[in-house]
Amino acid sequence: MYAVIDVEATGGKKGEESIIEVAIFLYDGEKVIDQLISLVQPDREIDLYVQKLTQITPKMVSTAPKFHELAKRIIEITDGAIIVGHNVDFDYRMLKQEFSKLGYTYYRETIDTLPLSEKHFPDAESYSLGKLSKSLGIPVSDRHRASGDARATLELFKLLQDKDSEKDIVLKETFTDKKKSIKYDSLLKDLPNETGIFYVFNKNKQIIYLSRSKNISQSARILLTGKSNLSNKIKISATEITYETTGNELVAWLKENHEIKTLKPSLNENQKKINFPFTIYNGFKNGFKQLRIDHTDYNSKQSHILRMNSYNNALSFLSLISEEYELCSKINDIYQGDGPCLGYSVGECHGACIGKESPDDYNKRVEAFQSKVCLEGKSILIIGKGRTLAEKSFVWIKNNVCKGYGYFDLNHQIKTEKLVQKRMIPIEENDDMDSMARGFLFSEKYLEIINLNT
């Protein structure tokens, strides 16, 4: 089964683009049996060059579904299929990037029609999809639109199948190393599709690697079938994989960070400090309080709000609170264009970007956000899902510091700090983990907040 795909994106710096259109044709080797074609509402502006190239305008995508609304459908239509694309690395990277924003690890095998075309059509003047299709007599409509390019890629793929006398495509689909398969199946047996930590052991019963995951089984399988240096080292050494569920992502983050430091697995050598390369800093811009994303400088004394593990997560977080507190993306240096920010046009910004709101009024809303995220003088428990239906988890934050995490069955077990300490797994004080925990206050992924001061 093949999922022939093309995506169009906003343009911009690599890793910061967003999908604006996607087309997928599910092809069983003989005919198309399913398809998905949709514009996508991005989380950033569309570059003018892209607008001219694709004829996709901001107005066209303003009412389109957001990626998270299409995500389940994309997973379903590509499940068990090999992703096929012309220069497929771009399309596949964009899909993985969008799923990553949702906290989901997306993995599929891929086939690139570009190198196959170079092999089977060595005399072609160009291997761009448009020129190659024209030279082969493949009709192309809606060039530089996802549906048109995906249809052209599908017809090209059919032609490549016909010319595939060496069975490169068939082997890609059917090849399995039986010895490896048996070993992998044994290692992956009984791993759950749940959030938690998985541990890789070597023949000496030493933990050589551990990792958090929203889906333990899926992440372990990707690790064992990957081609990275880490995957290759694990394939050689792994003799057993065990796991511990955590019930939710926040506890998984804290547990992973804590156990990498205490257990020191050899293949986590570069992860002794989980990387938080971006920070949301406090600042001022023309009298307005600014929340600015920048590279993390651990030596800087500049006031900051939270540290984040990726630019996209920082951007998503800032977009979330901008919507909640009606803040201006231009003040926060997210939008760099002329005129008002996009939020103003949809009623989310009060016009600070064009002088229609005073700094005093605007700053009150920033201060309301800062008050929620700053827990100086406060002692709270973030209550989340537990490892079973009857159990709940807690993460304790006191004076902006994450003290640890634990589990409970009955509310009276955590009524006071003294009781919390008895049930808690303490963690080393860590500014990055403090940021991670406080950031969850805005994620809506917790069940409730308990204030231990009252």
Same domain, yes or no, for 40 and 169? yes
Task: At 41, list the tokens.
Answer: 């509402």
Same domain, yes or no, for 170 and 183? no
Residue 198: CA count within 13 A, CB half-sphere? 26
Q: What is the residue whose two structure tokens read 């089984």?
A: 217
Same domain, yes or no, for 185 and 254? yes
Same domain, yes or no, for 158 and 53? yes
Q: State the total domains in the chain.
A: 4
Supply the pLDDT for residue 177: 40
Same domain, yes or no, for 106 and 210? no
Same domain, yes or no, for 62 and 87? yes
Same domain, yes or no, for 44 and 157? yes
Query: What's the domain range around 200?
Result: 178-271
Supply the pLDDT for residue 207: 92
Supply the pLDDT for residue 453: 61
Question: pLDDT tens track of the chain, all 454 residues?
Answer: 889 999 998 888 887 888 999 999 998 877 889 999 999 998 888 888 888 888 888 889 889 999 888 888 888 888 878 889 888 888 998 898 888 887 777 888 888 888 888 888 888 888 888 888 888 778 878 778 888 889 888 888 887 877 665 566 655 554 434 445 556 778 888 899 999 999 999 888 899 999 999 999 999 988 888 877 888 888 888 889 999 999 989 899 899 988 888 888 989 875 545 567 888 888 898 899 998 888 988 788 788 878 887 888 888 888 888 888 888 888 888 877 778 887 887 778 898 888 888 999 999 999 888 888 777 778 889 999 999 888 999 999 888 888 999 999 888 888 888 889 888 888 887 777 777 777 777 766 778 888 886 5
Which of 335, 353, 370 is where one domain is finished? 370
Supply the pLDDT for residue 245: 93
Which of 174, 196, 219 is where one domain is finished? 174
Supply the pLDDT for residue 164: 66
Residue 355: CA count within 13 A, CB half-sphere? 1
Supply the pLDDT for residue 212: 92
Same domain, yes or no, for 84 and 136? yes
Supply the pLDDT for residue 385: 92
Supply the pLDDT for residue 51: 86
